[in-house]
């Protein structure tokens, strides 16, 4: 099946740039990004690219090509759901601040709200794509909500985690190390794969089962965080012995089996993802 219309629920850091590049590379597919936050949608629609809610080098060039042609931003979530063949869920999954798992587990209330809204509104079969970072087997929760609509509408759930870094998101999207697609239905997997094949070499597109895909995102961030933590612990040893941690990191980074990335010693690791995803994995 060929996808003609895509909807993305969530116009944040992941949804906005990702859908922009998908629209840029697939001019025959209509891509609509929706969000209930009116100010955020207005910012994405601003004529001045400097006022976009996300700053990423290269995003303005992508926008100049795609926005208004086949890339649209709207607050009409229901219409986008009804019209779309494929729906990406790209909403926030913060760490829980209440109840069981408080301070550690991911809060899936926004994911579940999306699933319920899709179930309530959809009148035709859809492919649902998890883009948010979520715990393993979240797809089962989404599928359970979708399959109990009583409408006879068919849904296929895929996992397609993002691997973007702040400051290089457009570069990461244009030239990804890998695209990961997890699912059980081969036709649905192929439909998503064809979208990425518009610019990503086939050998870089990995297909797995749903649970391997969901887990791989968390494990990737855990391994990266582990590298930072390891070199930080070595920095203490350097202070005691008189060694220079930058020189040690540079030396071991020359080993092809180890590599040089994520070996910069610091007070910890930055950003929100590593801490959130590590807690999620634990």
Domains 5-208 and 221-281 equal at CATH topology level? no
Enclosing H/E stretch for 114? helix 109-121
Q: 189: Cβ–Cβ under 8 A, 6 or more apart, which residues? A: 158, 181, 183, 207
Residue 268 above 90 pLDDT? no
* pLDDT score recorded for residue 143: 94
Range with the poorest average pLDDT among 32-41, 79-88, 127-136, 239-248: 127-136
Q: Does domain 5-208 sit in CATH 3.40.50.300?
A: no
134-158 pLDDT per residue, tens: 888 999 999 999 988 767 889 999 9
Strand partners, 34: 9, 74
Alpha-carbon 210 to chain mean position: 15
**Looking at the whole model, is its pTM more than 0.75?**
yes
155-197 pLDDT per residue, tens: 999 999 999 988 999 999 999 999 999 999 999 999 999 999 9
Pick the CATH number of 221-281 from 1.10.1040.10, 3.40.50.720, 2.60.40.790, 3.40.50.300: 1.10.1040.10
Contact at 8 Å (CB) between 191 and 127? yes
Among 8, 114, 238, 273, the one annotated catalytic: 273
CA distance 57 to 60: 8
Domain boundaries, the chain: 5-208, 221-281
* pLDDT score recorded for residue 251: 98
33-43 pLDDT per residue, tens: 999 999 999 99
CA distance 277 to 38: 29
Residue 224 — φ and ψ, nearest 5°? -65, -45
| Whether residue 273 lies in the annotated active site | yes
Which 3 state secondary structure label does DSSP give 166? coil
CA distance 82 to 85: 8
Range with the poorest average pLDDT among 89-103, 119-133, 194-208, 266-280: 266-280
Q: 205: Cβ–Cβ under 8 A, 6 or more apart, which residues? A: 178, 179, 181, 193, 196, 197
């Amino acid at each position: 099946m060929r996808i003609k219309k895509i909807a993305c629920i969530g116009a944040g850091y992941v949804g906005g740039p990702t859908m922009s590049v998908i629209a840029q590379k697939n001019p025959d597919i209509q891509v609509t990004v929706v969000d209930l936050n009116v100010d955020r949608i207005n910012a994405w629609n601003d004529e001045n690219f400097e006022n976009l809610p996300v700053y990423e080098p290269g995003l303005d060039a992508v926008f100049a090509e795609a926005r208004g042609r086949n890339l649209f931003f709207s607050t009409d979530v229901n219409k986008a759901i009804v019209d779309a063949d494929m729906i990406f869920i790209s909403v926030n999954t913060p760490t829980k601040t209440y109840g069981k798992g408080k301070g550690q587990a991911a809060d899936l209330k926004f994911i579940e709200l999306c699933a319920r809204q899709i179930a309530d509104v959809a009148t035709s079969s859809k492919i649902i794509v998890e883009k948010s970072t979520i715990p393993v087997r979240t797809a089962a929760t989404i599928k359970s909500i979708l399959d109990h609509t009583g409408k006879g509408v068919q849904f296929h759930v895929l996992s397609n985690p993002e691997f973007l870094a702040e400051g290089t998101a457009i570069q990461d999207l244009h030239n990804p190390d890998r695209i990961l697609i997890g699912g059980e239905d081969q036709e649905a997997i192929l439909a998503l794969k064809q979208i990425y094949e518009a610019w990503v070499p086939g050998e870089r597109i990995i297909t797995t089962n749903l649970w391997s895909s969901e887990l791989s995102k968390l494990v990737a961030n855990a391994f990266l965080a582990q590298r930072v933590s390891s070199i930080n612990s070595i920095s203490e040893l350097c202070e005691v012995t008189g060694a220079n941690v930058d020189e040690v990191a540079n030396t071991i980074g020359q080993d092809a089996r180890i590599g040089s990335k994520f070996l910069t010693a610091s007070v910890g690791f930055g950003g929100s993802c590593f801490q959130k995803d590590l807690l999620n994995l634990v």
